[in-house]
């Protein structure tokens, strides 16, 4: 996984940034929902998780400079965003941040296991397109390439 502490990080102002799902507005026309960001309670600064910045940049590049008005769920394009969105949608967490972090870690591990099973099936079927798609999805959650699942 990318960080030991998934739910919070330090802000440049010295405050603590906590994770939540955010809606970004692009070119005043497009709402990109379900973007995981860290937000600082002290200064109000927010930033996307480092592990999703590449995919978010790709999406914005695909939209172009003059996009038409629409709504997009980033959770449909990124596994981290999808897992976090599904976990947060479950509601309140009586155990606080530690319970939420454990639920997120479990959900990520479950998704990795599922994608590894899908990847193995794609290998067995010799479906290279499916292998590539699944490999991309796996790479969004892991630091090891999908080929190690063979």
DSSP conformational letter for 6: S
The pLDDT tens digits for 85-121 are 999 998 767 777 788 888 999 999 999 999 999 999 9
Give residue limits of the domains in the chain.
Answer: 8-149
Mean pLDDT for the stretch of residues 116-132:
98
pLDDT of residue 144 exceeding 70, the answer is no
Other C-beta atoms lying within 10 Å of the C-beta of residue 8: 15
pLDDT of residue 145 exceeding 60, the answer is no
Highest mean pLDDT (candidates 5-19, 40-54, 83-97):
40-54
Q: What pTM, to 2 d.p., does this model score?
A: 0.81
């Amino acid at each position: 996984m990318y960080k030991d502490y998934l739910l919070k990080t330090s802000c440049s102002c010295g405050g603590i940034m906590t994770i939540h799902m955010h809606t970004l507005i692009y070119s005043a026309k497009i709402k990109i929902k379900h973007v995981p960001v860290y937000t600082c309670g002290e200064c109000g600064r927010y930033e996307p998780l480092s592990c999703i910045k590449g995919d978010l940049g790709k999406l914005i590049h695909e939209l172009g400079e003059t996009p038409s008005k629409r709504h997009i769920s980033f959770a449909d394009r990124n596994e981290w965003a999808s897992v976090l969105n599904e976990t947060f949608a479950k509601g309140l967490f009586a155990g606080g941040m530690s319970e939420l972090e454990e639920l997120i870690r479990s959900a990520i591990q479950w998704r990795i296991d599922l994608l590894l099973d899908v990847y193995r099936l794609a290998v067995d079927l010799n479906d290279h397109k499916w292998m590539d798609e699944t490999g991309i999805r796996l790479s969004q959650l892991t630091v090891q390439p999908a080929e190690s699942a063979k």
